[in-house]
Every structure is written in structure tokens, then in C-alpha cells.
Structure 1
Amino acid sequence: MIWHVQNENFILDSTRIFMKAFRLLLFDGSLIFPECILIFGLILLLMIDSTSDQKDIPWLYFISSTSLVMSITALLFRWREEPMISFSGNFQTNNFNEIFQFLILLCSTLCIPLSVEYIECTEMAITEFLLFVLTATLGGMFLCGANDLITIFVAPECFSLCSYLLSGYTKKDVRSNEATMKYLLMGGASSSILVHGFSWLYGSSGGEIELQEIVNGLINTQMYNSPGISIALIFITVGIGFKLSPAPSHQWTPDVYEGSPTPVVAFLSVTSKVAASALATRIFDIPFYFSSNEWHLLLEILAILSMILGNLIAITQTSMKRMLAYSSIGQIGYVIIGIIVGDSNDGYASMITYMLFYISMNLGTFACIVLFGLRTGTDNIRDYAGLYTKDPFLALSLALCLLSLGGLPPLAGFFGKLYLFWCGWQAGLYFLVLIGLLTSVVSIYYYII
């Protein structure tokens, strides 16, 4: 009898939860229509894979690419709408968040055609690769609009889990397995640190989880200048630092870049930076509004270390992918300048502009590396010598992308850095800008060599 009553209560509770979720989806579903398109694409991929043979492989690429393009289209049609908070305050839609979502979708859309030939030559499982890419994209998009601590934790974990699986996709490669284990262990540790920081933020605000409510809670409890907020800031900065991979949180980056399949590296090198930058802007700007001096100082230290260590260590590398790994560490130092400047002096605008150029330059570089690697089977920088005599177009394309990454005029990377450094100079970040200029000169040296 007791079991029967408990069972009925369980059914009633489950029904209430389902009806509440259905009501939220019914009224707020239009606000996540681009994400719903990706979910529908994931379902189609699974259905086709379970009933198809080798002849249907082109359909898998078509469905994945079409889902991403349709999601971009839906995002653009939603542009200029008023900011909206939906799903009981868990998700926020505004133009600023949608820019980051657009960049993530753009990265994923470009990475799929980049990986086709590599997957065919290495005989990697196609469906799983596409599923992980779309799921990681979905996690990144939800992260851009996350408005409470729970969603901010779950969304990047969705992205991270897919990243771990993608980095270890070539299971027979010892380097890939080693890189995946290091990535997984450090990722798990950083997530724990991030959650610990969230717990301090949650307690200091009086039990609030929505970002703006946390600010109101800190005002009500008079805890906005307390030691607890400083502890939360340190732990959250360390946790986000792993996602951004600035120095000194960069230890996993070179090994993952070297050991992972090249299309996976291309995907992770851009999407993870965009998603983590979106997270950093929301976390630092809203809950830590009263601690702006403290987090500015922390980010300035990270930016200086990243620009100096990343570019100097890149000079000593013999592997092209490891060199690009350390280069990306230096690049994130430049991006941090835009995060520090913030809304004032067009800091975010310069950061987003630079990231758009960085995406095109980085993916172009990795496209050249994929083609070169499939032809030669090597990743050593010395083996690129004489490439112009064998394939002038590939050599020129690679040179243009690398020199643009270095910021050589009149290429796109130069104007991106110029805008970013100008905004930093206007905001009074003179030392950071000077370090950025000097390290940019260093980066041109190892890109040319």
C-alpha cells in the first residue's frame, strides 16, 4: 500500500515537471529556435546513421552543414530584437550574446568541409565526429546566453565533454591518448575549481543563482567587498582560465594540439576561445561589477604572461601544431585586452573584430596544414621548406594566413590588432599595449621562419 502511494506521488510529480517543461518550451521555445534547429539536426544524423550504408555518407555532411547554416540564418533573422530573459531566468537573448553565437556557428560551419578529406583518408568514424561537433556547438551557444550559475556550469561541460572525445578520436595514436588524458584530468580539475568559486558567489549573495540577482543579493547582504567575493573571483578566474588557456593555465594546450586530429584542433582552437570569451565577459561584468579593479589586475597579469610566454616559447618549436598552440596562447593575451577594456572605448567591439579575423586566419592555416599533412604525413616545420616549388598556391595561402596572424600590414590581422591596441591605449592600458606590440613583432619572426 505504501509503495502504491509512493508510486502515485512519483507519477504526479513527474507529470508536473513534464508539464512545466513543456509550458516553458511552448512559450520560450522561439527564443532558442537556432538551438532547436541543431537539436533537430542531431536527431536526423542519428536516424540516418542507424538505417544507412556507406552510400549515404554525403547526406551526413549535408545535414550537418545545413543545420548549421539554417541556425545562422535563424540567428540573423532574430537580430535587433529587444533583450529577452526566458526559461525562468536561465537564458538571456540579446544582440551581444548573439554575436558570440554567430561566431561559434561560423567556426563549426567552416570546420566541417575542412575535415572531409582528412576523415576519408584516415577512415575516422564520420557520424560520431559530426555528432560531437554539433553537440559542442550547441553547448557553446547555450553558454553564450546562460544567465544563471547552473546553466553556466552545464553548458561548458557539454562543450568540454565533446572536446575530450574529439581530441581522443584516433584511439590507436599514443600521443592522442596522452593528450586526451591530460585534457580530461585538467578539465575536470578546472571545473571543480570553477564550481567552488560559484559556491562562494552563491553563499555571499544570499542563495541567488541568476547573474543580476547575485548583484542585488550582494548589495542586500553588504558582501560585495567581502573576502568571500575575493576568493570567488580567484577560483572563477582559474576555472575560466583553463577554458581560455592563457599562461599559466596553458599546459594542456600544446599536447592537445599535437596529439589530436588536425580538424579537431582547428575546431577547438577557435570555438573554445569564442565560448570562453563569452563566458568571461558575462561573469566578470555582472557578478563582479563591484570588484572591477581586482579582476582587471588579474586579467592584466594573465595577458602579460600569455603574450610573453606564448610568443617566446613558440620560437623554439619544431612541430607546426605545437607552434600554433603557443601562438594561440599569445593570441588570447591580445583578446584579454579587449575583455579588460569592456564596454568603454569599444573594447568589446575591438575584441569581437579581432576574433573574427583570428577565426578566418586560424582556420585557413589549419586547412593548409591538413592538406600538407595528408600529402606528406609529417608535421615538422623543416619539412615545409621548398613548399613553394611543389605547390605555390598552398605555400602562398599558408604564408598569408600566418603573416596575418602575426599582424603584418596590410593584411586583416594588422587592422584587427591595430583596432584592439588603439582601444587599449585609449583606456589607459599603455603597458599592455606596448607588450602586445613587442610580442607581435616576435610572432612575425617565427611565422616567417
Structure 2
Amino acid sequence: MESGFDLRFLYGSTILPECILILGLIILLAIDLTSEGDTYWSYPISLTGSVTGIMVLFSQWRGEPIISLLCGPQTNTCDDIFQFLILLCLILCAPLFTEYFQCTEMAVTESLFFALAATLGGMFLCCASDLVTIFVALECSSLCFYLLSGCTSRDVRSGEATMKYLLMGGTSSSILVYGFSWLYGLSGGEVQLWGILNGLVESKMQNSEGTSIALVCIMVGIAFKLSLVPFHQWTPDVYEGLPTPVVAFLSVTSKVAALALATRIFNLFAPFSDEWHLLLEILAILSMILGNFIAIAQTSMKRMLAYSSISQIGYIMIGLIAGNPSGYASMLTYTLFYIFVNLGAFASIALFGLRTGTDSIRDCAGLYGQDPLLALCLTLCLLSLGGFPPLSGFFGKLYLFWCGWQAGLYLLVSIGLVASVISIYCYLKIIKLLMGGGHGGELDTPRTGDDRILSFSSPHTPESLIELSMMLCVIASTTLGLIMNPITTIARDNIFN
């Protein structure tokens, strides 16, 4: 095993991408302190940092173990894949932050600063291998999400959603740390994950009641971050109350980071406990069924996507529960597709909200007659979420269910198929409104939720960045499924090999 304490500490380990983001944070902070108001350079700096970080990750793609000062032994590229997904979320969401916040006269630099900091915490979480680093990285990301949630101080709903998110997030973090404390004590004072595993084996506590309590507490903390039923109560209210770009960023980044943590912990303790396997199956089943059923009754697009995200994470859990390289590969592949599809839908809603001041499903009626491009993009994203061929959502679900079926998860896959059929009705109902007649919201004047006319301070065409991000996500969600084979091959060959 090579050591990362020489020059490879920066280039051969995973620390260089994080250093790039830290440099971007310093520059954004300096700009915010020295300039009056927002500047045009905030977005290019954020975009440059995230793109450079992805390029470094590709250059570090490795097949041999490396020791990192902060992240411990790195034996596969699974961590790099999760970090790539988190940086991809930032790249796709940064245009939404920039244009939306400029149109609504909110602080762009401040929002991008917190988005970068949340991404930084998520990247450290993806490669953390000890309890202290896991908790610090998780809280770094969570606190930035809380601060992003409170950026709209003039909106009462945003303040209420932020308070609910903060209180429930703090409670879940406390339960997670309580589980960590059980592992720390039962393993004889170890903080490294592999040290905890060896300590439990040496003390013959791997099958004890204390270990079960620890895993249940950890599962509760992770389930909150993933919005799994019944730990999903915060999700619809937070999604509805927060600005659309913040919701879009939160809906994908937090889930990718939580999936990375869940994959690391549950894969480590899988040989010693089958209880987490059964509990995760129950959570996945409840999420798929309740998420899709409740989504049908929603009247707000953002609340509908909130319950849709609950059901989608239920599908993703099938790959995690499978517990083999093919299962993890299907989980990562579907997560990649979900990022593009979900962000494409939120970008469409953000654009519609800026132009009409509402996210009501009823106000989307007849949208195709007023803005065919926007209606078509939203339609393609909804169809992909429902799993219509030949969109990427279809191929992602097909591979995910196939891997689950091969792993013997017959009940879970069967319920997933039924839940997918239920979701199709929800999405088709909205598409029928989009393509049909009716009196939707007026699209000629950009407004906020309080119908206040806005002034644009953007140096380029208003909403151009949102349209660019929307088009990029729609193209990816439409075409990625056609080149799925190399994607799944790369994921499968680099997971826990």
C-alpha cells in the first residue's frame, strides 16, 4: 500500500479536489467582503472550482490502495464516484442559484458560498473512514443546508420550513451520534471503521444487543437524510417552503452523501448482522408505496416532487440492499440518472415559478400552448421519473430491478414494479394538464410568490442560465440510457474490488 504523506498527499489522494473547493470558498468570501453587492464573478468562480475538481477526480482514477491523511485507506474508486456525483450536482445547480437569486434580488454570492461549503462537506463524507470525520463532514454539509434554507427571510413559509428542517435535522444527528457512541464503546475506544470492526470481533460483541442498537440508531440518522418513510415528515414542507434552486440542490446532494455513508457502513457490518437488511427492506417498501400514493393527491409541483423523491430513494435502496457489486453499480447508475432527471424537473419548475409566481399544478394547465419548450422539457423529465422507454429512467429502473431480482429480493422488486405503475398515473395526470387546454399562469412577467414585479440585475439574458441547465439535464436524461452499458461496467468494475 502506498503512502499519501509525500507529494501524493495532494495528487494521489482525494484531498486535492477538496482543496480546490476550499480555495473557491476563500475567493468567494473575499469577494463578498470587499465588494458592494453581488458580482458577476461569483458564478464563474464556483463553476471553475467544481469543474476543476471533477477533472482532478478523473485524473486520480486509481486501482491501487492509497492512504489519505483525512480519509484513511482508499481501496477502490467507489468514493470517487460518489464525489463525482456530488460535484455534478453543484455544476448543474449553480446556474439555478445564480439566475434565480438575481431575479428575486437575493444574495447570489452568499448562496453559492454555502452551496460550495455543503459540497465540500459531502465530499469529505464520501471518503471519511472514521467516526469523527464522518460526523464533522455530515454536520458541515447539514449546517450549510440549514443556512441555505433560511436565505429567504422575507417569506414566512421559508422560515417555517427552515425551523422544521433545523429541529428535525438536529434530532436525527443526535440519534446518529448516539449510535456512534455505542460502536465506540463496544469496540474498545476505536474510531476508525475498520478498527471498530476488528474491536467488535475481538471482544465478541459483533452480534450483541448493543451492536444492534448502534446500527438501528445509525440507520435512523441516515434514513432522515435520505427521506425514507417514516422519517420523511420534513421533506414536503421543506420542499414547498424553500426557493426552488435550494430545494433542487438539497434533493440530490444530501441523498448522494447519505448514500455514500450508508454504503460504507452497511457494507462494513453486513457479515455480522442481518437486522439492518430487514429494516432497510421495510423502509424501502414503505417509501415506494406511500411516496407514490401521496404524490397523486398533491396540488403543488414541489410537494409532488418531494413525495416522488421519497419513492425514488425507495427504488435506489434496492441496489444497496442487494449488497453485491452489481447491486451497488445499479444504485450508482440510477442515482446518476436521477440527478439529471430531478434537476431537470426542478429547473423547469424554477423557470415556471419566475414567470408566473406559482408552482401550483393547476396553473400549469395549457402550458404547452404558451411555452412549448418548457412544457416539453418538464414532460420528458416526468416521463423519465415514471420509467417510460426509451428515457434513462426506464433503463435505470430496469437494471436496478434486474439486479435486485438476481439477488433474491423478489418481494421488494415486485412492490417496486407496482409502485412504478402507480407513479405513472401521477405523472400522466400532470402531463395531460400541460398539453391540454385551460387557463394557466401568465408567462409574460417574472414574479415571485407574492406577485411582486422584479428587476433583473443579470448581465445576460434573464433566465438564460436556468434554461441552459434545464436543457442539459433534459438531454442527459433522454440519452444517457442509450449508453448505459459502459456506465454500469465502469461502476461495477470499480466497486469494492
Confirm or deny a common fold (TM above 0.5): yes
Aligned equivalent of 2:410, options 422, 430, 433:
430
1:354 maps to 2:337? no
Kindly provide the amino acid, as one letter, of the partner of residue 72 in structure 1: I
2:97, 2:112 within 8 Å by CA — same for their partners in 1?
Answer: no
Secondary structure of the corresponding residue to residue 67 of structure 2? strand
1:34, 1:72 within 8 Å by CA — same for their partners in 2?
Answer: yes
In the other structure, the counterpart of 2:20 is 37
Kindly provide the amino acid, as one letter, of the partner of residue 169 in structure 1: C
Aligned equivalent of 1:194, options 146, 155, 176:
176
Aligned equivalent of 2:29, options 37, 40, 46:
46
In the other structure, the counterpart of 1:301 is 282
- Displacement after TM superposition at 1:323 (Å): 0.4
Aligned equivalent of 2:393, options 386, 392, 413:
413
Quick one: structure 1 residues 25 and 170, their matched pair in 2 at CA, closer, same or farther if it must change by over 3 Å? farther
2:175, 2:217 within 8 Å by CA — same for their partners in 1?
Answer: yes
Query: Which structure 1 segments of 5+ residues have no match?
Result: 1-22
- Displacement after TM superposition at 1:90 (Å): 4.3
2:226, 2:259 within 8 Å by CA — same for their partners in 1?
Answer: yes
- Displacement after TM superposition at 1:27 (Å): 6.7
* Structure-2 separation of matches of 1:225 and 1:402: 44
Greater share of helix residues, 1 or 2? 1
2:225, 2:254 within 8 Å by CA — same for their partners in 1?
Answer: yes
In the other structure, the counterpart of 1:58 is 40
Question: What number of residue pairs does the alignment pair up?
Answer: 424
In the other structure, the counterpart of 1:85 is 67
Give the 4+ runs in structure 1 shifted more than 6 A.
Answer: 23-27
Quick one: structure 1 residues 406 and 88, their matched pair in 2 at CA, closer, same or farther if it must change by over 3 Å? closer
In the other structure, the counterpart of 1:4 is none
State, as a whole percentage, how many aligned pairs show the same letter.
70
In the other structure, the counterpart of 1:272 is 254
- Displacement after TM superposition at 1:140 (Å): 0.3
* Structure-2 separation of matches of 1:372 and 1:89: 42
Quick one: structure 1 residues 85 and 112, their matched pair in 2 at CA, closer, same or farther if it must change by over 3 Å? same
- Displacement after TM superposition at 1:116 (Å): 2.3
1:117 maps to 2:106? no
Map residues 152-163 of structure 1 onto 2, 5 A cutoff: 152-163=134-145
1:90, 1:151 within 8 Å by CA — same for their partners in 2?
Answer: no
2:97, 2:108 within 8 Å by CA — same for their partners in 1?
Answer: no
- Displacement after TM superposition at 1:235 (Å): 0.7
Secondary structure of the corresponding residue to residue 41 of structure 2? helix
- Displacement after TM superposition at 1:168 (Å): 1.5
In the other structure, the counterpart of 2:292 is 311
1:330 maps to 2:338? no
Map residues 274-289 of structure 1 onto 2, 5 A cutoff: 274-289=256-271
1:91, 1:145 within 8 Å by CA — same for their partners in 2?
Answer: no
Higher relative contact order (CA 8 A, sep 6+): 2
1:105, 1:137 within 8 Å by CA — same for their partners in 2?
Answer: yes
Cα displacement string for residues 166-210 of structure 1 (whole angstroms, at most 9, x for unaligned residues): 111101111111111110000110011001101111111111111
Cα displacement string for residues 131-153 of structure 1 (whole angstroms, at most 9, x for unaligned residues): 10000000000000000011111
* Structure-2 separation of matches of 1:52 and 1:92: 41
Kindly provide the amino acid, as one letter, of the partner of residue 380 in structure 2: L
Kindly provide the amino acid, as one letter, of the partner of residue 50 in structure 1: L
In the other structure, the counterpart of 1:249 is 231
> What TM-score do the two structures reach when normalised by structure 2?
0.83
1:343 maps to 2:324? yes
Secondary structure of the corresponding residue to residue 85 of structure 1? strand
- Displacement after TM superposition at 1:297 (Å): 0.3
> What TM-score do the two structures reach when normalised by structure 1?
0.92
In the other structure, the counterpart of 2:302 is 321
Over aligned residues, Cα RMSD in angstroms?
A: 1.5
